[in-house]
Structure 1
């Protein structure tokens, strides 16, 4: 004070000294003045932080007098405040108005470490009384000596006993406490639960239209701070919490690096998400209702991390575990994500501004093995067709290409067969798939019945329940498709009849061929027996044989199918030595033509 007055001596009149930057304000100055005049000052957790900073500001050190205010406030902090859970919380809360003095004097650091140590200590050392939303008479946990025995009626201390007390702190101080708790070795799931508790208290909802700039800045700072202290372990916080935090981060324009980190965290446990969590409104300039691009990125992060996990630890699973799907009866993460994506596609498909490309890319992002049934994908496709009635035939086929008709259930096939929005080609594939499934089911039932009863009549009984299903399926099919299917069945029957006709004529010609071979052998034998028949016999035998083969070759080229050209030429006799070497060649040519 003397120095301040001396430095202001040049002023015309020195009757006022302004101390605008005094930490602790008028209350701290009044306590310091009382101390100077020997008036008793009651040090408490509520005034000690401000008084300690004010004493430092006014240089009340031991150089002037022993037992000065700095010494006394430091002693109170070290021996009283830091040994008490409640006092450490109160002092740290009061330090919010004392920056940067409280930081420079290490008050924040010491209180944070004291809180962290007590939060991580054995709760048996606490005589418990619940805090939070309780009457003021109930105090915070009281620390006792380790030798004192707890009361028999003492309630067990819950592991989250410290959540409510630390949640009253300002965000930067809360971050300091959580960081110190991490260093002490607290379980990561408890740290995550404390972060979620804090977010629930300070981020009760989304930013409303009436929120001011200051409010948005405060909430953006809270979101950024919480993202930075989430433990890196999977399941430290719930996927639902991460997605809500991501929703707020997009609305508050949080730093892109933190948003990317948050998206990767969601990808680690994407299979735990729900449809309501994924319906995040679009905040970009696009016209879609929901942020489909964000879900696409989350799915990509999930697939990358799944692939990394599978490739990094293949030896941890035994052969039997791999074939059992990880050793449990629960569906794999990819299957759960596939069902989630199908539900999401069904919901966003109602948006008329959703492009076909975005729908197709998201539907095809998962591998085929992730879906054992495509019913959910079919519902999404049908929903998209309803909302986009102006799609061309090519676009409809392109849309349906993401679905495998063979993976549809019987109920889905029944619905698809009556769905006039689907391309006709897809309906044909669906009906064919349904026909195969029914045939397989019939064959399986017949086999099972024969095995159990040994009676073929019993096996026939399993076929009867399937007939009404097929009849109902065909009756429910659109009329235009029924007509096309009837015409196709007529064409198939006609082809079957023609094939039977060709088979009959082939058998007839095969008989004639055998007859010709026998006649040729007799003629050859007769010519050999005559010995001196000369060249005339050979010529005549060769001519008769050639005439018979010309008739057969005419049939091979398409002639003689009606059998009208079968005449008496094959009754001619011929002989010759040269015929034996060429008798197999016409027969081989005939077989090739028939095949």
Structure 2
């Protein structure tokens, strides 16, 4: 027979305790056990004839009490030599170790055994190991430990937690005996129950309440009128479990229909306790701010492989992999900040690539919720760059794929978004793409200071988002300017290539004024900035409908244009003036050359007519003299024209006018056309 003393979760007594009183055997009477230097002796007048060694402990026992209740001991004794008066048995592989065997030995001698949540799993496994079944004796240890598990432990919240915790050292016995499964389902059923039906008892935590007291009639444990049971009451108790048992509990809770946001919050709470780099500053809630210092400390220490041993690295890697596998696939179940910090640790601890890819996809679903500090993930793959730029590019790709899938979904209204804003939200709230674009521009500005960041990587990352994601390119301009400042050795071609990532027409007035004075930018880009600003001003003036509005706005616009021109560097102004003067000179000289060409053309036509007239005459002498006189006149005109063209070409540098004039009037015709 065994009797339950009842549980008391709020007080100091141990809960779920039962006294086991098996029937005494008349063969060997004992008053108890006594320990001397890791050796246990039975207080009996009969000398012991059985020595059982379990690890470092030795038990000096008698054959008959153990043989009458244990099938394994029966076989061992029968197989041993019958000539020896004392038999020695080694049971190093018994589950529960010396503590569990001590309790089974006491049970065999008929002594009282206290069953508790701490020892029941080891005692049940040891009874199975020793084959203490009902075939040998009715009411044997297997039957009584199973009854205690079913009727006492599984009906109590705290006992189920304690038993599941004690099963960590009993693999695979506790798993094969279904102790882990039954405790996990019991915990899941109680966690999903209506909190209003739970009578509370406190565990001593000043700021949190946990550990509900089930089926208690104590009036002191009832909550007050203003006291309500928080939905996360079970987080603290479940978080003491090992990761594999925690996964079993969370999986069972999912099957029971728990809210996904609560499951995500429980996962974040568990990670904060078992992963030192993810310790939270706050006490409760899923939107707590995560501590950044602890994570950086671990990363810095692990770089030398001194702070974390190989076993600790394997343990943390297993925790991260298990948590990734049980995160609900729905969006917003866990915060993006938490996912990014998990990704940081996963890269540092070399987590399986498939799980890292899955984590990156989850981050891409809610990338607009991230912050710049979370995206600055160092490179752990021996990359030349300080930060993992390729990782951020993959996150952007996952984000765009998710946005495209949501946009093409049949239940989405194509008119919900207008001008980059979400119509279902307040007008001041930016859409996801705009927030991601702003975040990306800040990230580019930060990583551009790295001298090892190549121009190609910077350009690919800057162009990862479509043009519609940015309504203003001021942030992108800051990133480009920061990159130019950190890489002063770029060639002119590379600087032009870099500036192609931004649109000058999307720059604000302040950005245009800064760009006009920025000597790091190519001259062509500065001209484009000034031209785009002038075009904006012209369009604004042309579109003004009222004269009063036009007068009121024209003056500040003209003043803005004047400021832009005045703010332009002197070198740019002088270069532009010289180029304009050269253009006007070339135009004037081209007109002069064109006039000379027309004069030569007229002379040529006159000579042609004279030739035809002379050819019609029959006198060869007259035709010959006329022909000679005509070509002499043409030769004289050609020399005069060539000399004038040579004088004109002396004032036209770096042009092909001189060469074309020397080659004859036919070349001039082709050049002018």
Alignment TM-score, normalising by the size of structure 2: 0.68
Indicate whether 1:25 and 2:97 are aligned: yes
The 3 A distance-change label for structure 1 pair 88 and 377 is same
d(CA) in 1 for partners of 2:275, 2:488 = 42
Instruction: Give the superposition deviation at 1:68.
Output: 1.0
User: Is residue 128–residue 155 contact of structure 1 (8 Å, CA) maintained in 2?
Assistant: no
Partner of 2:445: 346
User: Is residue 50–residue 98 contact of structure 1 (8 Å, CA) maintained in 2?
Assistant: yes
Q: 2:525 aligns with which of 395, 406, 426?
A: 426
Q: What is the DSSP-based 3-state SS (H/G/I as helix, E as strand, rest coil) of the residue aligned with 1:378? A: helix
User: Is residue 278–residue 344 contact of structure 1 (8 Å, CA) maintained in 2?
Assistant: yes
Residues 216-225 or 480-489, more deviating: 480-489
d(CA) in 1 for partners of 2:224, 2:568 = 76
Indicate whether 1:77 and 2:149 are aligned: yes
User: Is residue 449–residue 483 contact of structure 2 (8 Å, CA) maintained in 1?
Assistant: yes
d(CA) in 1 for partners of 2:584, 2:186 = 90
Higher relative helix content: 1
The residue correspondences of 1:111-260 to structure 2 (distance < 5 A) are 111-131=183-203, 133-134=205-206, 140-144=211-215, 151-153=223-225, 155-205=227-277, 206-207=298-299, 208-209=301-302, 210=306, 211-260=308-357
Indicate whether 1:317 and 2:388 are aligned: no
Q: 2:172 aligns with which of 94, 100, 118?
A: 100
Q: What is the DSSP-based 3-state SS (H/G/I as helix, E as strand, rest coil) of the residue aligned with 2:113? A: coil
d(CA) in 2 for partners of 1:6, 1:27 = 26
User: Is residue 120–residue 181 contact of structure 1 (8 Å, CA) maintained in 2?
Assistant: yes
User: Is residue 77–residue 87 contact of structure 2 (8 Å, CA) maintained in 1?
Assistant: no
d(CA) in 1 for partners of 2:216, 2:254 = 25
User: Is residue 504–residue 528 contact of structure 2 (8 Å, CA) maintained in 1?
Assistant: yes
d(CA) in 2 for partners of 1:373, 1:38 = 85
Higher relative strand content: 2
d(CA) in 2 for partners of 1:405, 1:318 = 30
Partner of 2:499: 400
Instruction: Give the superposition deviation at 1:256.
Output: 1.0
User: Is residue 154–residue 182 contact of structure 2 (8 Å, CA) maintained in 1?
Assistant: yes
User: Is residue 336–residue 366 contact of structure 2 (8 Å, CA) maintained in 1?
Assistant: yes
Instruction: Give the superposition deviation at 1:40.
Output: 1.2
Residues 315-324 or 98-107, more deviating: 315-324
The 3 A distance-change label for structure 1 pair 131 and 355 is farther
Instruction: Give the superposition deviation at 1:474.
Output: 2.1
Indicate whether 1:383 and 2:474 are aligned: no
Q: 1:359 aligns with which of 435, 458, 472?
A: 458
Partner of 1:565: none
User: Is residue 405–residue 430 contact of structure 1 (8 Å, CA) maintained in 2?
Assistant: yes
The 3 A distance-change label for structure 1 pair 186 and 377 is same
Residues 7-16 or 403-412, more deviating: 7-16
Q: 2:111 aligns with which of 39, 54, 64?
A: 39
User: Is residue 125–residue 144 contact of structure 1 (8 Å, CA) maintained in 2?
Assistant: no
Partner of 1:289: 386
d(CA) in 1 for partners of 2:217, 2:369 = 43
Alignment TM-score, normalising by the size of structure 1: 0.77
Indicate whether 1:306 and 2:397 are aligned: no
**Equivalent pairs, count:** 489
In the alignment, structure 1 segments of 5+ residues that lack a partner are 452-458, 499-595
Residues 163-172 or 480-489, more deviating: 480-489
Instruction: Give the superposition deviation at 1:239.
Output: 0.8
Q: What is the DSSP-based 3-state SS (H/G/I as helix, E as strand, rest coil) of the residue aligned with 1:450? A: helix
In the alignment, structure 2 segments of 5+ residues that lack a partner are 1-72, 278-297, 590-673
Deviations 1:497-526 (A, max 9, x none): 99xxxxxxxxxxxxxxxxxxxxxxxxxxxx
